[in-house]
Amino acid sequence: MFDYQSCLKWPAGAFFSLTLLTPLAMAQSPSAEPQPQTTTPGGTSVQTADQRITELSHQVEELTKLVHQLQAQMSREAPVLSGTVPSTTVPAPGAVAPSTAGAAPASAVAESPKVAADLLRGMTINAMLDGYYEYNTNASVGRVNNLRAYDVSSNSFSLNQADIVVESAPDLTIGKRAGMRLDLQYGQATATLQGNSANELKPDVYRAIFQAYGTYVFPVGKGLTVDFGKWASSLGIEGNYTKDQLNYSRSFWFDYLPFYHMGVRAKYALTDQLAINAWITNGTQQTEEFNNFKDQLYGFVLTPTPAVTWTFNYYQGQEHPDVVYLQSPGSGQQNLPNQQGTFILPITNPPDGKLQIIDSYVTWQVSKAITFAAEVDYVQQRLYSHSTPLHVTGGALYGGYQLTPKVALAARVEYVADFGGLFSGTTQYLKEGTLTLDYRPAEDFLMRGEFRRDQSNQHYFIGSSLGVFEASQPTIGLGLTWWFGQKEGAW
């Protein structure tokens, strides 16, 4: 929000009223100091009245000049800053009004500044840098941390992500219904999000674009918010930006549940406490569609008190492609359709089994210093509609305590039952516990020390020798996060 002198925010009518009323008020005010009077031989005070009229005339002249100066300044700045153009313009004394012959209509003249103003009002440009060093006590081959979303490397100084976030959000308090958001992301996290060609058939095209969507709030009830584009998934309590999480590393559930979607979503507030959500998307981790099925989400967000928020989501999709993209056709495939140099080969009898996700999480801000949260999830997927389903179930518990304005503690425990290896490729029971110590030496700089232990009922985690696997994976790490910009709250 820009900070202008308060006088620039007054409407032009207020200056006009000030010009006319101030002399009158000064003349009639009973509290004004009496001026010296000069009497004529007849005992009248004609000369004194002349003096007062002269004084008032000078004051009116000075105020009129001030009004013209302020109106001239407003005519230069107001169209750019507030998106409005004064309906009338008072010419300066002695000025000749410009000819309007052949001029564009006032609405056309105002349209371009208004568009620029709507885009710039409330816009923030933000940046974040997130890096870490982590050590896996298994001394794993290739310095690999299994089943980690972002802290994927051991014994390596790593750049998790570098982000640029540009946002111009709607704001109904100033009559702004349209908005947009763009998140550009680089680093290891981009490979986690969009490095899998099984989900994203052309990952290189969209890899750096984590989010890109436009928003419009329709004037329906309390407001119907509709987004079109690509957005971060709200399935699961954890998100992309480290500064907004209780822990540095992400949970198994964050690694498994969808990262993003492309499509249309709507949110409508039934009351101040209850909002409902509905999505239609290409799929999970699919900027471009690879089958003819459109995934759907239905859910709600309930806020019974300001301290408690409960989110419930039901998601149904079909995550099996019906085509294969080829860089070059083989022999006998010269007539394949192609798009942007990529050849498309249909799959005979493609899988049509559905994915179903039930996801629910609640946060409780017990006090300014204490936070609790819990998440439960159930995921079921079939290869074909008649296939036996595989499923993953479990949940996580979180706790955070702000010791001082600069120091905080957080803990997470979670459980994942992976039946059929839908998540990890192996049927197993996974558990993990994480302890995190935060230190914030500056407002926009966060240091996080973390100890985490992953545990399985199988020998699953990579060991120090090829072909050797461990039942646990302990890691010790330090994460560093910087962020800058005017965006407030969670990103």
* pLDDT, tens digit (0-9, with 9 covering 90-100), for 158-213: 999 999 999 999 999 999 999 999 999 999 999 888 887 777 878 888 999 999 99
pLDDT for 405: 96
Confidence of residue 13 (pLDDT cuts 50, 70, 90): very low
Query: 29 versus 68: which is more confidently predicted?
Result: 68
Q: Is the pLDDT of residue 89 over 50?
A: no
Query: 112 versus 412: which is more confidently predicted?
Result: 412
Q: DSSP letters along 310-334, please?
A: EEEEEEEE----SEEEESS--TT-T
pTM for the model stands at 0.75
pLDDT for 74: 61
| Mean pLDDT, range 36-56, rounded to an integer | 57
Q: Is the pLDDT of residue 8 over 90?
A: no
Tokens standing for residue 472: 């646990």
Dump pLDDT digits (tens) for 297-320.
999 999 999 999 999 999 999 999
What count of Cα atoms within 13 Å lies in the side-chain half-sphere of residue 381?
20
Mean confidence (pLDDT) of the chain: 84
Sign of the CA dihedral with 85 first, then 86, 88, and 94 last: negative
| 18-26: long-range pairs with CB below 8 Å, 24+ | 18/63, 18/67, 19/60, 19/63, 19/64, 19/67, 22/59, 22/63, 23/56, 23/59, 23/60, 23/63, 26/56, 26/59
Q: Is 305 exposed, middle or buried (0-12, 13-18, 19+ CB in 10 A)?
A: exposed
Rg over CA atoms, the chain? 32
Confidence of residue 68 (pLDDT cuts 50, 70, 90): confident
Q: Is 304 exposed, middle or buried (0-12, 13-18, 19+ CB in 10 A)?
A: exposed
